[in-house]
Homo-oligomer: A and B are copies of this chain.
Amino acid sequence: MITLKDIAKLANVSTATVSYVLNGRGNISDKTRAKVLEIVEAHNYKPNNIAKSLKLNKTSTIGVIVEDITVFSAPEIINGINEYAEENGFTIVLTNLRIHKRIGNHFKDIDRYKHIITAAVDDLLSKQVDGIIYIGVHTRDVKGLIDIAKPVVYVYCYSTLESAYSVNYDDELAALEATNYLIERGHKRIALISGLIDSMPSHGRFNGYYKAIMANQLPFDPSLIKTGDWEYSSGYSMAKELMALPTPPTAILAMNDLMAGGAIDACREINVNIPEQLSVIGFDNREFSGYYSPKITTVDIPLQAMGSRAIAMLIEILDGSPPEESNPKLECRMIERETVAAAADKQ
């Protein structure tokens, strides 16, 4: 490998001169500059960034820890990070925790996987990343799991550690808008198929639903609220229960597309036509929701924007001008497809 020193020798100048030419600094005559550049070109010299990093104590590298890259949200978030990173001259060092494979669904038991995260962080730190972005698999508190001197921003999760940065989306607002969307179309009996009750997204989405119902002076009927477990099968069985009610709902808001899909398939079995007899809205805008029969109307989470925002914040911190909003919640967007219609039986 040809080094800066070699170039200096070939050009009959000092290494300082070559360095200055390369970095467009210092006082160098056009003649010398041209000569150096020519030799650099001729030998296809590429600077060694490792050496540069050592000297400058700055790698222009950010560590991205993703809890599980195979989860639907991860690639989009990484894509967002990546685009912004590239535009700003940063490189990404990726660590995939493969957390589902390792700890199953024991996310509550933080002690169980603390060491996994610590190892990942230590590794990244030893590689001298300038900062870290931690991408969770769902909105939750990861406590003060990462406590280091370098800046960290959490995406799709947050840390109760004071002054921790995070970027998430607005669950409550999204559910409120989805519910309003139904109400605007004349629905009055709107069921909710919730995810696991002890999760943040379930709370946020429930609140949004509840506020929309209240704001529109609709009756709040607890029999219309069902608790699922985020899986297809729970959407399926909850929908059957709901449609067996004395007066079944005219619309269902499911807290994710999987449960929405289950609900739709349950309805097909019992000959409830969607959307004519029942409207359904999902959440997440999973890829399959666009290929479903019928195509599922759903709420899109701004994953890519969350990624960009996270790294934008990180870079601001690195530049010494911390972002004003340290825990932004981005807005979701409804994706209108084929599972919602105006309520048939206006009461």
**Given that A268-B293, A288-B287, A292-B291 are contacting pairs, would A47 and B126 also be in contact in the complex, using a CB cutoff of 8 Å?**
yes
Q: Tell me whether A48 and B126 are in contact (CB under 8 A).
A: yes
**Within 8 Å of chain B (Cβ to Cβ): is A106?**
no
Q: In the complex, A165 Cα to B70 Cα: how many Å?
A: 26
Nearest CB on B from A62, distance (A) = 11
**In the complex, which of the residues B46, B79, B258 contacts A96, with contact meaning CB atoms closer than 8 Å?**
B79
Number of identical monomers bound together in the oligomeric complex? 2
**Within 8 Å of chain B (Cβ to Cβ): is A317?**
no
Q: Tell me whether B48 and A128 are in contact (CB under 8 A).
A: yes
Question: What chain B residues lie within 8 Å of A50 (beta carbons)?
Answer: 50, 53-54, 59, 127-128
**In the complex, which of the residues B53, B59, B96, B265 contacts A293, with contact meaning CB atoms closer than 8 Å?**
B265
Q: Tell me whether A98 and B79 are in contact (CB under 8 A).
A: yes
Query: Which residues between 38 and 91 of chain A lie within 8 Å of chain B, taking CB atoms?
Result: 46-51, 53-54, 59, 61, 64, 69-70, 72, 74-76, 78-79, 82-83, 91
**Given that A49-B128, A128-B49 are contacting pairs, would A69 and B59 also be in contact in the complex, using a CB cutoff of 8 Å?**
no
Q: Tell me whether A75 and B82 are in contact (CB under 8 A).
A: no
Q: Tell me whether B59 and A70 are in contact (CB under 8 A).
A: no
**Within 8 Å of chain B (Cβ to Cβ): is A93?**
yes
**Given that A50-B59, A54-B51, A287-B288 are contacting pairs, would A75 and B83 also be in contact in the complex, using a CB cutoff of 8 Å?**
no
Question: What chain B residues lie within 8 Å of A123 (beta carbons)?
Answer: 91
**Within 8 Å of chain B (Cβ to Cβ): is A92?**
yes
Question: What chain B residues lie within 8 Å of A96 (beta carbons)?
Answer: 78-79, 82-83
Nearest CB on B from A47, distance (A) = 6
**Within 8 Å of chain B (Cβ to Cβ): is A312?**
no
Question: What chain B residues lie within 8 Å of A232 (beta carbons)?
Answer: 291
Nearest CB on B from A122, distance (A) = 6
Q: How many residues of A contact B (CB 8 A)?
A: 45
Instruction: Produce 1/0 per residue, A198-240, CB < 8 A to B.
Output: 0000000000000000000000000000000000100000000
Q: In the complex, A295 Cα to B20 Cα: how many Å?
A: 63
**Nearest chain-B residue to A94 (Cβ)?**
B94
**Nearest chain-B residue to A257 (Cβ)?**
B291
**In the complex, which of the residues B70, B91, B291 contacts A288, with contact meaning CB atoms closer than 8 Å?**
B291
**Within 8 Å of chain B (Cβ to Cβ): is A195?**
no
Question: What chain B residues lie within 8 Å of A49 (beta carbons)?
Answer: 126-128
Nearest CB on B from A13, distance (A) = 22
**Within 8 Å of chain B (Cβ to Cβ): is A249?**
no
Residue with the greatest number of chain B CB neighbours at <10 A, chosen from A48, A50, A72, A125: A50
Instruction: Produce 1/0 per residue, A22-51, CB < 8 A to B.
Output: 000000000000000000000000111111
- Identify 12 residue pairs between A and B in the complex whose beta-carbon atoms are under 8 Å apart, listed by A's number: A46-B125, A48-B128, A50-B50, A64-B94, A70-B76, A78-B94, A78-B96, A79-B98, A83-B96, A287-B287, A287-B288, A288-B292
Additional 6 contacts, C-beta under 8 A, given A82-B95, A92-B94, A288-B288: A46-B122, A46-B126, A48-B54, A75-B75, A82-B98, A265-B293
